[in-house]
Amino acid sequence: MALIVQKYGGSSVADCDLIKRVADHVIACKKQGDDVVVVLSAMSGETDRLIDLARQVQATSDPRELDVLLATGEQTTISLFAMAVREKGFEATSFLGYQVPIDTDSDHGKARILDISTEKLNAAIKSGHIPAVAGFQGVTPRGNITTLGRGGSDTTAVAIAVVLKADICEIYTDVNGVYTTDPNICPNAKKIDKISYEEMMEMASLGAKVLDIRSVEFAMRYGMPLHVRSSFTYNTGTHVVKEDETMEQVLVSGVTYSRNEARITITKVPDSPGTAAGIFNPISDANIVVDMIIQNTRAGDLTDMTFTIPRGNYDQAMGIVQKVAKEIGAERVAGDQNIAKVSIVGVGMRNHAGVAGKMFDILARHGINILMISTSEIKVSCVIEEKFTELAVRALHEEFGLDHE
Amino acid sequence: MALIVQKYGGSSVADCDLIKRVADHVIACKKQGDDVVVVLSAMSGETDRLIDLARQVQATSDPRELDVLLATGEQTTISLFAMAVREKGFEATSFLGYQVPIDTDSDHGKARILDISTEKLNAAIKSGHIPAVAGFQGVTPRGNITTLGRGGSDTTAVAIAVVLKADICEIYTDVNGVYTTDPNICPNAKKIDKISYEEMMEMASLGAKVLDIRSVEFAMRYGMPLHVRSSFTYNTGTHVVKEDETMEQVLVSGVTYSRNEARITITKVPDSPGTAAGIFNPISDANIVVDMIIQNTRAGDLTDMTFTIPRGNYDQAMGIVQKVAKEIGAERVAGDQNIAKVSIVGVGMRNHAGVAGKMFDILARHGINILMISTSEIKVSCVIEEKFTELAVRALHEEFGLDHE
């Protein structure tokens, strides 16, 4: 008899029929003798619908009130789910963030979980109930509703699994698991049976959207095994676990890509101490995350700086940089939104030299120019022209031996 | 400088544009120097939409979970309203039932307010904020969400006005006030400028839907003046106040009707002690409210019993009564769903004999047969065939002198 935390994403609870199907599956697990705690997202599309309502009344949503609004999405699904379970003759009780409670800081829209009380959840489990917890939301010490940001329901599920000392945290979604790359681009993509937390974190941060990166970080920190699987097939999916020896046999575990990239270059920047800070501080003050940075030294005390940012922040960042460039006497500012980032990820890289070189070679042989490079212990990322994205992904996937047999 | 509690019904906040208009009006009041506390309903249609979702997952909704679901409706409008106010540069803060808190008993779906804490609301008012309170909802001592039943937002508003010692409670809706009768049936209906609590309660209980009867009862008990008015014209509406001498000049203040009626007759009931209880206890156990009861004694120890119930409970009540009739040896059970109730209401009746007689006479002269009669100090109700409803309302309205000059 195990204790399982099951999280169902928006596409798994998109309408009442799907909610009833989820209830059936949870009850089946319960009948097998397992205790189940369910964490639910809002119906798919609902959060966007609510954000659109908010935009209609206020240009920039008040963070506290937006959280009050968005929290209704999960409130709806947990109550409907509890009813669906009860319709089948089993007991279920919904729990909102403030009812568990899931204590967070007051950083509305991206709150961090501080503590989760286990008392009420354990009492519900003990009395045979299936607790249905609202994902994505928490409560501040003053009783205000907070939300954890996009993907926050994954974090809720993992955090609850950790505090309840669950045996496993299952993340149900609309795909069969984590793939070696995006099957929409590469039909030969394979489902990965087992992947390490580190690799999963890199994949998530590089554009694979199946799991929220914070939830993986959380799971890794507490050693909570994750199982990413489909609520439509209920087949075995991808286990995200501690790295083990068998994994090292694979050089590259996955190929990811992101089109959400833009590049800004400032040429002939006077190369004096504090110049970089002068450029990047105002950008980070505007909450724009800079990804890669490259600096090329020119003749004299001049340098060229190139960096990438999310494409959605392009206009804002250009405005900031143009102002700064004038102040520091740089020559000019150029930008490019037609770029993409392709990456290879694998813990095997740690013990094998030449993986990056092989990647550059593959791209070169396909006539793909590399604009920027960034590496970590277990990944290599290359910025390329966006039009080469599919070609690059397919070439890397095949030549690193990830294609279906 | 006054403290005003303003309640806006679902049609007043049916979409984002209307919510912005309400925000404009509240801000205008604030600019005039008044403090305003706003109580909001769900967008019109939203509660029905949620109930429909609930029906899709469970045949009979679990009361606790249904309340969790329904409470999202007001949560949505208060957050959107607070944002709309903030967009105009004023301060507003939303309050859910558990945040005020509005303490209720645990009778889900029709909870009663036990206590309302004023501390947070007063602090918000003092700091210049406009508190936006979710109507219709409260919280139990154990932290469960409750709802107060249909029309509950009116009760929330009046109760908050009472505990905050507000100067007035304004109930905004989509009509200009309380009318002498339904203008849809009788184009000559007049807006009533001033009406007593007692009359308003009778009107509400008899089918005038502009105010929830419990809220009027509450206002009467604490002497809270109400002002029912339109959020579309913002004209002066109807003041609901303590009875005063000027009111007694009017014999009849209003004519109401209800088509939500059904009648059940049991013939040849053995007339022994306990028989009535044997019939009506199982009906009230099923939460069906019996309105009028008539008993006709026949020859021997037999009697006929006729009573009315809400039409929506007809099938259920017939099932119960048929079973009981068999047990007690009654002859047969007959039912009729094609009936209506027309009523005249007025505190003037107290001091004037013959009002009921005049009503019977008017109906008779129009060829309308009276099936049942019930009276109170300030109202007379007659059950008639449903097809005569409009005719009866218009005739009573005209002949009691309520038509527009």
Q: What is the CATH number of the domain that holds A67?
A: 3.40.1160.10
Question: Could you tell me what percent of chain B has a pLDDT over 70?
Answer: 98
Last residue of a domain, one of B154, B174, B194: B174
Residue B347, domain member (yes or no)? yes
How many CB atoms are closer than 10 A to CB B28? 12
The amino acid sitting at A323 is K
pLDDT (tens digit per residue) in B164-212: 999 999 999 999 999 999 999 999 999 999 999 999 999 888 777 788 8
Question: Residue A65: which of B58, B59, B79 has the nearest Cβ?
Answer: B79
Question: Strand pairing of A168-173 and A3-8?
Answer: parallel
pTM, two decimals, is 0.88
Residue A33, domain member (yes or no)? yes
Q: Which of A96-105, A269-278, B42-51 has the lowest mean pLDDT?
A: A269-278
B244-250 own/partner pairs: CB under 8 Å, 24+ apart: B244/B196, B246/B194, B247/B194, B247/B195, B247/B196, B247/B347, B247/B348, B248/B347, B248/B348, B248/B350, B248/B351, B249/B348, B250/B346, B250/B348
Cβ separation A65–B83 shorter than 8 A: yes
Asked if A299 is an interface residue toward chain B (Cβ–Cβ < 8 A), one would say: no
- Which pLDDT value is given to residue A86? 98
- Which pLDDT value is given to residue B151? 83
Region B349-354 average pLDDT: 82
Question: Strand pairing of B35-40 and B3-8?
Answer: parallel
Residues B260 and B170 in one domain: no
Phi-psi region for residue B256, left (φ > 0), alpha (ψ -120 to 50) or beta?
beta
Inform me whether the pLDDT recorded for A248 exceeds 60. Answer: no
Inform me whether the pLDDT recorded for B398 exceeds 90. Answer: yes
Cβ separation A66–B79 shorter than 8 A: yes
Residue B351, domain member (yes or no)? yes
Residue A55, domain member (yes or no)? yes
Region A355-373 average pLDDT: 93
Predicted confidence band at B248 (pLDDT cuts at 50, 70, 90)? Answer: low
Residues B260 and B392 in one domain: yes
Residues B170 and B260 in one domain: no
- Which pLDDT value is given to residue B9? 95
Residue A13, domain member (yes or no)? yes
Predicted confidence band at B276 (pLDDT cuts at 50, 70, 90)? Answer: confident
The amino acid sitting at A187 is P
Inform me whether the pLDDT recorded for B95 exceeds 80. Answer: yes
d(CA A158, CA A166): 9
Asked if A289 is an interface residue toward chain B (Cβ–Cβ < 8 A), one would say: no
- Which pLDDT value is given to residue A133? 98
d(CA A36, CA A39): 10
Asked if A89 is an interface residue toward chain B (Cβ–Cβ < 8 A), one would say: no
Predicted confidence band at B353 (pLDDT cuts at 50, 70, 90)? Answer: confident
Inform me whether the pLDDT recorded for B245 exceeds 70. Answer: no
Does the structure's ipTM exceed the value 0.90? Answer: no
Contact yes or no for B226/B374 (Cβ under 8 A)? no
Asked if B123 is an interface residue toward chain A (Cβ–Cβ < 8 A), one would say: no
Mean pLDDT for chain B?
93
Predicted confidence band at A136 (pLDDT cuts at 50, 70, 90)? Answer: very high
pLDDT (tens digit per residue) in B157-176: 999 999 999 999 999 999 99
**Number of independent structural domains in chain A:** 1
Region B364-387 average pLDDT: 93
Asked if A93 is an interface residue toward chain B (Cβ–Cβ < 8 A), one would say: yes
Asked if B51 is an interface residue toward chain A (Cβ–Cβ < 8 A), one would say: no
The amino acid sitting at B70 is L
Residue B229, domain member (yes or no)? no
- Which pLDDT value is given to residue A376? 87
Question: Residue A57: which of B59, B80, B96 has the nearest Cβ?
Answer: B80
The amino acid sitting at A62 is D
Contact yes or no for A371/A274 (Cβ under 8 A)? no
A-to-B residue pairs, Cβ atoms closer than 8 angstroms: 112
User: Could you tell me which chain A residue has the CA closest to the CA of B19?
Assistant: A57
- Which pLDDT value is given to residue A251? 83
- Which pLDDT value is given to residue A297? 79
Residue A46, domain member (yes or no)? yes
Contact yes or no for B42/B74 (Cβ under 8 A)? yes
Question: Residue A69: which of B58, B65, B79 has the nearest Cβ?
Answer: B79
Distances (CA, A) of B303 to A44, A284, B268: 61, 87, 5
Asked if A247 is an interface residue toward chain B (Cβ–Cβ < 8 A), one would say: no
CATH number at residue B269: 3.30.2130.10
d(CA B257, CA B395): 13
d(CA A161, CA A27): 19
Inform me whether the pLDDT recorded for A247 exceeds 80. Answer: no
Cβ separation A94–B58 shorter than 8 A: no
How many CB atoms are closer than 10 A to CB A129? 18
Most confident of A22-36, A275-289, B326-340: A22-36
User: Could you tell me which chain B residue has the CA closest to the CA of A60?
Assistant: B87
Domain that holds residue A21: 3-174
Phi and psi at B303, nearest 5°, equal -145, 155
- For residue A80, give every residue at least 6 positions away whose Cβ sits within 8 Å of its Cβ, in sequence order, or none: A13, A16, A19, B53, B54, B57, B65, B69
Predicted confidence band at A245 (pLDDT cuts at 50, 70, 90)? Answer: low
Last residue of a domain, one of B174, B209, B228: B174
- DSSP letter (8 states) at residue B313: G
Residue B391, domain member (yes or no)? yes
Mean pLDDT for chain A?
93
User: Could you tell me which chain B residue has the CA closest to the CA of A88?
Assistant: B58
Inform me whether the pLDDT recorded for A405 exceeds 70. Answer: no
